[in-house]
């Protein structure tokens, strides 16, 4: 009976780790990105850790804050 719920996707982890990597590559803090994307920094921190099931609109805003297309941010490297 327990839930047949879906587990967190691998893509969620990819997104989180790439988000963090690209942020660091640009020398930005969580607070910087939060300001650019108009979001709460602690929320973004949770995303980077893959703890939240982020929506496409928020992913898009974050990709925009980093100046890169979303599909590229999701591509593992």
Distance of CA 21 to the CA centre of its chain: 10
53 binds a second copy (CB under 8 A): yes
57 binds DNA (CB under 7 A): yes
* Residue choice 14, 17, 36, 46 for contact with DNA (CB under 7 A): 46
* Residue choice 17, 36, 41, 70 for contact with DNA (CB under 7 A): 41
CA-based angle 49:51:54, to the nearest 5? 105
The rounded distance, in Å, linking the Cα atoms of 19 and 22 is 5
Choose the contact partner of 15 out of a second copy, DNA, none; CB within 5 to 8 A by kind.
Answer: a second copy
């Amino acid at each position: 009976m327990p839930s047949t719920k879906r587990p967190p996707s691998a893509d969620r982890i990819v997104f989180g780790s790439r988000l963090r990597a690209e942020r660091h590559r640009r020398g930005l803090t969580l607070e910087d990105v939060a300001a650019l994307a108009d979001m709460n920094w602690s929320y973004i921190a949770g995303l980077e850790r893959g703890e939240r099931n982020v929506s496409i609109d928020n992913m898009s805003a974050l990709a925009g804050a980093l100046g890169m297309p979303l599909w590229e941010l999701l591509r593992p490297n």
